[in-house]
Chains A and B, each alone.
Chain A
Amino acid sequence: MKVLVCIKQVYMSGTDMTIDTNTSWVHYKPGGFRINGYDEYALEEALLIKECTDKTEVHALSVGPARVEAAVKRAMEMGADEGIHVRHDKEGYVSPYHAASLVAAYAKDKHYDIILTGVMAEDDMQMQTGQMIAGMLDYPYATSVMYQKMATGQSLYVERECDNRSRECIELSMPCVLSIQSGINKPRYPSLSNILRARQQKIIEVPAKDFDASENREKVIRIFIPELKPKGVFLQGSQREKAAELLRILHEKVFI
Chain B
Amino acid sequence: MKNNIAVIAQHSQNAVDPITYEAIACALELCDKDCSRIEVIIPGEQTEKAAREIADTSGMEVIALEHSLLQFYNAEAYVRALTGTLNDLAPEYVVLPHTSTGFDLAPALAIKLKASCITAVEDINHDKGKHSFIRSLSSGRLYAEVVPETKSTVITVQPGAWQAASNSSGNTGRISTRTPDIEACKSRTVEIKHAVYKGTDIAKSEVIVSAGRGIGKKENLQLLYDLAGIFKKSAVGCSRPVCDAGWMEYSHQVGVTGATVSPKLYFACGISGALQHISGIRGAQTIIAVNTDPQARIFGIADYCVVEDLTEFLPVLMEEFKTMKHTG
Residues of chain A whose beta carbon lies under 8 Å from any beta carbon of chain B = 12, 15, 17, 19, 26, 93, 96-97, 122-132, 134-136, 139-144, 157, 159-173, 176, 181-183, 186, 216-226, 228-235, 239-240, 242-244, 246-247, 249-251, 253, 255-256
Contacts and interface: CB of A to CB of B under 8 A. Distances in A.
Contacts of B138: 12, 17, 122-123, 125
B136 A131 contact: no
Q: Majority SS of interface residues in chain A?
A: mixed
Given A131-B108, A243-B316, A246-B288, 4 more contacts: A130-B107, A169-B192, A173-B187, A250-B265
Interface in B246-302: 246, 250-251, 253, 256-260, 264-265, 286-288, 293-295, 297, 299-302
Interface size class of B (residues with CB under 8 A): 35 or more
A134 B108 CA distance: 7
A136 to B, nearest CB: 6
Interface in B165-223: 185-195, 207
Given A132-B108, A141-B108, A220-B144, A166 B300 contact: no
Contact of B111 (A132, A161, A225, A255): A132
A253 B303 CA distance: 13
B14 interface: no
28 contacts: A17-B141, A97-B116, A97-B117, A127-B120, A128-B107, A131-B111, A135-B109, A140-B186, A143-B75, A143-B104, A160-B100, A161-B257, A162-B192, A163-B256, A165-B195, A170-B189, A171-B187, A182-B244, A217-B148, A218-B146, A218-B153, A226-B142, A228-B299, A231-B303, A232-B303, A242-B313, A246-B288, A253-B265
Contacts of A250: 265
Contacts of A243: 313, 316-317, 319-320
A232 B231 contact: no
Nearest to A138: B186
A225 B316 CA distance: 34
Nearest to B79: A135
A159 B193 contact: yes
B240 interface: yes
A37 B321 CA distance: 40
A226 B275 CA distance: 14
A231 to B, nearest CB: 6
A148 to B, nearest CB: 13
Sorted from nearest, which 5 A-B pairs have the closest CB atoms?
A135-B111, A165-B195, A140-B187, A217-B116, A131-B107
Contact of A166 (B104, B192, B240, B303): B192
Nearest to A18: B142
A232 B100 contact: no
A233 B303 contact: yes
Contacts, number: 258
Given A166-B194, A183-B250, A223-B142, A143 B305 contact: no
Contact of B306 (A135, A140, A171, A235): A235
Nearest to A135: B111
A170 B72 CA distance: 10
B89 interface: no
B187 A222 contact: no
B320 A249 contact: no
Contacts of A167: 192-193
A157 B193 CA distance: 14
Interface in B117-147: 117-120, 132, 135-147
Contact of B188 (A126, A130, A170, A231): A170
Contacts of B120: 125-127
B230 A256 contact: yes
A8 to B, nearest CB: 13
Given A161-B100, A164-B195, A239 B297 contact: no
A86 to B, nearest CB: 19
A239 B100 contact: no
B75 A131 contact: yes
B317 A247 contact: yes
A31 B299 CA distance: 29
